[in-house]
Amino acid sequence: MLMPVESNDGEDSVDPTPGRPGPTRTAPEPEYGAPRALWRGLARIPVPPPFHPRTWRSPLRGTWLTSVFGAVLLVGLPIVILTGLLSYIAYGPQFGQAIPADVGGLHLPFFDWPTNPSWFYRLTQGLHVVGGMILTPIVLAKLWSVVPKLFAWPPVTSVAQLLERISLLALVGGVLFTFVTGLMNSQYDYSWGFGFYTAHYYGAWVFIAGFVAHVALKLPTMVRALRSGPHGTGALARWLHDTPAETEPEPMDSHGLAPLDPNRPTLSRRGLLGLVGGGSVLVGVLSIGQTWDALRPLALLSPRGQSYGDGPNDFQINRTLAGSGIDPAALGDGWRLRLTGGTSEVSLSRDDLARMPQHTAVLPIACVEGWSTTRTWSGVRLRDLAALAGVPEPDDAFVQSVETSGAFARATLQSNQVLDEDSLLALRVGDDDGGPMADLSGDHGFPARVIVPALPGVHNTKWVASIDFRRRQA
């Protein structure tokens, strides 16, 4: 067994492996902070794998490789973070209907979610979910590249490094928690015993804090590593063209990522980056069909299958009529829509709604889990219903479904969402290519559902029973 030996300058070095030629690699002496005696004492304690530096022997690991993955994530993760926070705002936290509702000092600025462009939520949530899936192989590769650092011994060498390790714990724990729970949510897998939305929101803030601290601490290191290239030559392209036989370990440095006793390479850095990049492309191709109808047959990662109904009603369903617990008889000829907020209540049958002026709009519908589709919708404008109720300029509207249980059996709409010219109480649906229209199916909200541009799908309430158009009290 090869063991570290003490060199003349006091630094640890390793004897070359028998039968494998190569120079002895030397680990830089750690810079111990106060109290030095404590950290030096910890360093002298014999440790087994995975804490022993000879445990991690991949010749590909090093500061440069980690910096490459870090640079990609530095671009991609802020997009996933920002779009996730926008999703929370889209749910209308000012009405207490975002989950979690009361977040104390972690609440985001309140503003009216826009209805234009109509595809805005489709874009932001698609980037959040599909972007997170695409980044997953890169996140895993980045974590693999820094594994030696996670098991470094001694774990800290100064108070400053202790703070860095705490930020790293928040970053690694936060990214694993948010990515794993987010991916499981997109697959409708709720194996955990806690509420997804609340845990995901708070977990995201832990991750954001760790991410910001890590970037502040490591950005200069990343920039230097990417600029210097292998062995400080600046020849970035060299490491991307080396064959496995030409691949050399990165030089030892104070960051502790390069191997002290590297194995022979079986894969080049170009091969590793290609493998990780190819994995991201594959995941993207298998996911994007959830948001791009033309690629739906490729959406093999979709938990909802490929077919959802007949004709124009063949699009994604989150909550079925059977799952809602609604008695189908309540949606028959006796169903009535109640409009309140004015001086008297207005009651309308579906036939009454069909006789009112109809408006047709091509609008997307998008869900928090990442799927979306575009359909042609036909029905009565919400602003016409508001005028009929005697509240032509409502401050908001409260929509209640025939379904009475569940967080999304009701929704509050902003004034701009009620008054947008394409906001509808939809009665019929068609493809987005101008084909024939059909009545909404039971699973899609018959006899009537709300459709509002850029509104999260669950707030496009199905099986609408009543709409209360409200004015704020002076």
Average pLDDT (286-295) is 81
How does pLDDT run across 17-40, given as a tens digit for each residue? 333 445 567 777 777 777 888 878
Q: What is the pLDDT of residue 315?
A: 86
Within 44-158, residue ranges assigned H as helices are 63-90, 120-145, 147-150
What's the confidence (pLDDT) of residue 230? 66
- Residue 236: pLDDT band by 50, 70, 90 thresholds? low
- pLDDT for the residue numbered 10: 37
Q: Are 31 and 157 in contact (CB under 8 A)?
A: yes
Which position has the token pair 């019929």? 428
Local confidence band at 306 (pLDDT 50, 70, 90 cut-offs): low
User: At a CB cut-off of 8 Å and minimum separation 6, what does 57 contact?
Assistant: 259, 261, 262, 263
**What is the pLDDT, as a whole number, of residue 107?**
84
User: What are the structural domains, with CATH classification, of the chain?
Assistant: 30-38+45-287 (no CATH), 311-470 (3.90.420.10)
pLDDT at 435 over 50: yes
**C-beta of residue 114 within 8 angstroms of C-beta of residue 454:** yes
d(CA 334, CA 329): 8
Confidence of residue 13 (pLDDT cuts 50, 70, 90): very low
| Contact call for residues 465 and 401 (beta carbons, < 8 A) | yes
Angle at 137 between CA 132 and CA 138, to 5 degrees: 85
pLDDT at 54: 83
pLDDT in tens, 348-389: 999 999 999 999 999 999 988 888 899 999 999 999 999 999
Nearest to 259 by CA among 11, 14, 18: 14
Task: Report residue 396's pLDDT band, with 50, 70 and 90 as the boundaries.
Answer: very high
- How far is residue 464's CA from residue 348's CA, in Å, rounded to a whole number? 12
Ranked by mean pLDDT, which of 211-225, 316-330, 375-389 comes out on top? 375-389
Encoded tokens for 289: 């069909």
- Who's near 363: CB < 8 A, 6+ residues apart? 118, 374, 375, 377, 422, 451, 453
Which pLDDT tens digit goes with each residue over 72-94?
Answer: 999 999 999 999 999 999 999 99
Confidence of residue 193 (pLDDT cuts 50, 70, 90): confident
Predicted pLDDT of residue 169: 86
Q: How far is residue 395's CA from residue 412's CA, in Å, rounded to a whole number?
A: 10
Average pLDDT (203-219) is: 92
For the ranges 158-162, 255-259, 272-276, 425-429, the lowest mean pLDDT is seen at: 158-162
Looking at residue 19, what is its pLDDT? 34
Q: Could you read off the pLDDT of 127-138 as tens digits, one per residue?
A: 999 999 999 999
φ, ψ (nearest 5 deg) of residue 5: -120, 155
pLDDT of residue 17: 39
Is the pLDDT confidence value at 404 over 80? yes
Distance CA 102, CA 100 (A): 6
Helix pair 269-288, 63-90: axis angle to 10 deg: 20
- Greatest mean pLDDT among 111-120, 290-299, 300-309, 314-323 lies in 111-120
- Output phi, psi for 116, to 5 deg: -135, 125
Nearest CA to 85 out of 31, 130, 124 is that of: 124
List of residues 6+ apart from 61 with CB closer than 8 A:
145, 148, 250, 257, 258, 259
